[in-house]
Amino acid sequence: VGGLLNFIIYILQDKNIIATQEATFFTTNIVLILALGLLIMDKLFFDFASLSKKAEAALRVKSQFLSMVSHEMRTPMNAIIGMTDLLAKTPLSKTQIEYLDSIQVSGNSLITIIDDILDITRIQEGKIRIEHKTFDLYALLKQIHRTFQKTIDDKAIQLELYIHPNVPQYIKSDPARI
């Protein structure tokens, strides 16, 4: 930088664009501007590094909080689902069976949401595990269809499951995340 600055000043003086006194003033100003620029860049870099560390710490705290809350929600939800499964094995009226089905579908939906929250936390922490196993895609689709059938019937909506013949029955993937 110093050599380039001297060269510019030499050219400016040689072409009689600036005098020696002006060249000194020009050089001093350029040096001050460069020094100020370096100080500002150093401050910005320090602030960025500090903010980056704070952001990483905040992300860790958020992930820990979501993980803890998800686990705390999962325990009572599993109890509710377990109790509804036990209740389903007792003699019930048609209306009670309908209510129980709604509770089971809602409970399973909440467990899925809780699992999704845990998955987000695991992804952010780099701890997500994707399974690669062969499973029956048709059976999974039929199960999903059955899960929503009661809600669909209650709302007088028609939902049909159609699986194109070119769709393979067995695929290798993560059945929980597909």
CB-side neighbour CA atoms (13 Å) of 24: 2
Report the alpha-carbon distance of residue 2 to residue 155 in Å, rounded.
79
Please identify every stretch of the chain with a pLDDT value under 50, giving residue numbers as ranges: none
Give one DSSP letter per residue of 78-113, joined into a string. HHHHHHHHHHHTS---HHHHHHHHHHHHHHHHHHHH
pLDDT at 23: 63
State the burial class of residue 73 (Cβ atoms within 10 Å of its Cβ: 0-12, 13-18, 19+).
Answer: middle
pLDDT at 174: 82
Report the alpha-carbon distance of residue 111 to residue 130 in Å, rounded.
19
Report the alpha-carbon distance of residue 152 to residue 157 in Å, rounded.
5
Ramachandran quadrant class, 16 (left: phi over 0; alpha: psi -120 to 50; beta: rest): left
Beta strands of 26-151 (E only): which ranges?
133-136
Residue 176's contacts (CB-CB under 8 Å, 6 or more residues apart) are 115, 131
Report the alpha-carbon distance of residue 73 to residue 110 in Å, rounded.
9
| Predicted model pTM | 0.46
Report the alpha-carbon distance of residue 43 to residue 32 in Å, rounded.
16
Per-residue model confidence as pLDDT tens digits over 62-98:
877 877 887 788 888 888 888 998 999 999 998 898 8
pLDDT at 6: 66
